[in-house]
Amino acid sequence: MHGAVSDKSDTKTESSAVPGDSSDTTRYDFMVVSNRLPVDRCAPGEPGDDGSGWRRSPGGLVTALAPMMTRTDGAWVGWHGAADETVEPFSHGGMDLVPVQLSSDDVELYYEGFSNATLWPLYHDVIAPPEFHRTWWDAYRTVNRRFADAVVRTADEGATVWVQDYQLQLVPRMLRQARPDLKIGFFNHIPFPPPEIFAQLPWRQAIIDGLLGADLVGFQRSSDAGNFMRSARRFLGASVKQQQVHVKDTEGDLTHIARAQAFPISIDVQHITELARKPEIIERARQIRQDLGNPKTILLGVDRLDYTKGIGHRLKAYEELLNEGHLKVGDATLIQVASPSRERVEQYRLLREEVEGTVGHINGTYDTIENTAVRYLHHSYPVEEMVALYLAADVMLVTALRDGMNLVAKEYVTARTNNDGALVLSEFAGAADQLKQALLMNPHDIDGLKDAVMRAVKMSPKESARRMRAMRKQILDHDVDHWSADFLNALNEKVIRDDS
């Protein structure tokens, strides 16, 4: 793979000539840029501790890119996670890391504010109302500039730079202005909204213009790419043909062609499969079932505690099924893992109160001395424990109201190496485009959601196996290596201008 990225031996050079800079810095010809670096701080003796003070962080983006970064000699630019702290460039697990510093004000205004209280709700169908503040926008621009500057300083002549996600949408344009020699890719991990919703953003033109600095703008679904191109046409008057946007300068001359295309992200299939076959993880799954009293059916939800995930809808459907006697505590248990997320953002605080209130109510009403209705876990777990949970669960519930992809759905299917179990999947998650044999449903339709849950609970082994086999094949054929290779190959393809 990585046809687009050259060998470990020749990617890194010392002090090569970079336009406008003659300092003595290491230069890279392949760079990934994301809000967070792919590592977390780690105290001595903590799980994952290798003595360096850092460990590779969990999460979709890191899972997706770490295998590729360790096999090339590129560098990753990102925030190290501690406000007001300066960290020098360092290496970890075979990756060169270039930290970007954020002050507490940056965290409040750029990360919690503009990224997660403006863009996040706006891009997720305005499930929560987005807030628009000029001070947040100013901070977003300033911080995007800082990330771009870190690349400008360290990218080799003609390097490939891959910018990740909604926190950094202005970086492609900033890079193109400072370093027209670079090959610039951007991938949006979350949905891109239809122009009718995007229109609300006071800075809509600047965001589209920022993204159009890239040669290739990748999205999870083709509907996201379509939304982006419609916005480029509507708000910038761009000429869009097929998947190509013709980008012009202020004089109206064509500067480059930016392509917009879907590249659905995936998971590290080999790693999940290996874990799912380990005797100690299989034993741990058995133990989990036993600790829950060996119910006939274990249902599982695994989410960041985020209002986009439809946790409330899931709990409502489950409670109604208990209330109507379709499910019975003792026979069925729901494990809900809700990992802590963005806890200083108001909407997330409110959500936690709501979810925990509902879980308390359900358990208070339906628990028996021996058995619980919902085993609620407000924790993050290492991947080994997650795979044990996937193996323990008969039914996986992914009820997102809107989700860029949802890698949990793909991990569950991958972990079911015996082709058993059932996946209930929201049609509003990107994964629904690939996992067509899941029980697809609209989570707003509570009766439809209940029907899907009961179909999953009662599914025959034969039907489970048929569906699982087809979904597993899809994921096995399209793992995260394919995702990154497809994107990078497309980025390095010569663009034939489509004027038809």
Nearer to ligand F6P, 40 or 105 (CB): 40
- Least separation, in Å, of the C-beta of 80 and ligand F6P? 12
Shortest distance (Å) from residue 209 CB to ligand F6P:
22
> In whole angstroms, how close is the CB of 81 to ligand F6P at the nearest point?
9
Judged by CB, which is closer to ligand F6P: 117, or 175? 117
For residue 493 the two structure tokens come to: 């393809």
User: What tokens does 360 get?
Assistant: 């308390």
CB-wise, 172 or 191, nearer to ligand F6P?
Answer: 191
Q: Which is nearer to ligand F6P, 55 or 176 (CB)?
A: 55
Which H or E run contains 30?
strand 26-36
**Minimum separation from the CB atom of position 283 to ligand F6P (A):** 29
- Return the closest-CA partner of residue 40 out of 24, 25, 62, 56: 56
Please give the residue ranges that form the binding site for ligand F6P (CB under 6 A). 35-36, 59-61, 165, 189-190, 341-342, 404
- Smaller CB distance to ligand F6P: residue 128 or 327? 128
Handedness of CA 151, 73, 93, 276 (dihedral sign): positive
**CA 236 – CA 229 distance, rounded (Å):** 10
* 15 Ramachandran zone, left/alpha/beta (phi>0; psi -120 to 50): left
Nearer to ligand F6P, 29 or 306 (CB): 306
Show Cβ contacts of residue 493 under 8 Å, excluding neighbours closer than 6 positions: none
Rounded Cα distance between 248 and 34, Å, is: 27
Write down the least CB distance from residue 342 to ligand F6P, Å.
5
Question: Using an 8 Å Cβ cutoff, are 391 and 276 in contact?
Answer: yes
The nearest distance, CB 38 to ligand F6P, in angstroms, is: 10
Q: Please, what is the minimum distance in Å from the beta carbon of residue 403 to ligand F6P?
A: 8
Rounded to a whole number of angstroms, the minimum distance from the CB of residue 61 to ligand F6P is 4
Which residue number, 40 or 356, has a Cβ lying nearer to ligand F6P? 40
Please give the structure tokens belonging to residue 77.
């630019």
Q: Which helix (H) or strand (E) holds 17?
A: none
Burial 247-277 (b: 16+ CB within 10 A, else e): bbeeeeeeebbbbbebbbbbbbbebbbebbe
Query: 61 or 201, CB closer to ligand F6P?
Result: 61
Q: What is the dihedral of CA 181, 261, 424, 299, to 10 degrees?
A: 0
Q: Which residue of the chain is nearest ligand F6P when measured via CB?
A: 59
Nearer to ligand F6P, 341 or 474 (CB): 341
- Of 395, 425, 408, the closest CA to residue 297 belongs to 395
What is the Cα–Cα distance from 123 to 141, expressed in whole angstroms?
18
DSSP string, 376-444: EE-S---HHHHHHHHHH-SEEEE--SSBS--HHHHHHHHH-TTS--EEEEETTBGGGGT-TTSEEE-TT
At closest approach, how far in Å is the CB of 111 from ligand F6P? 7
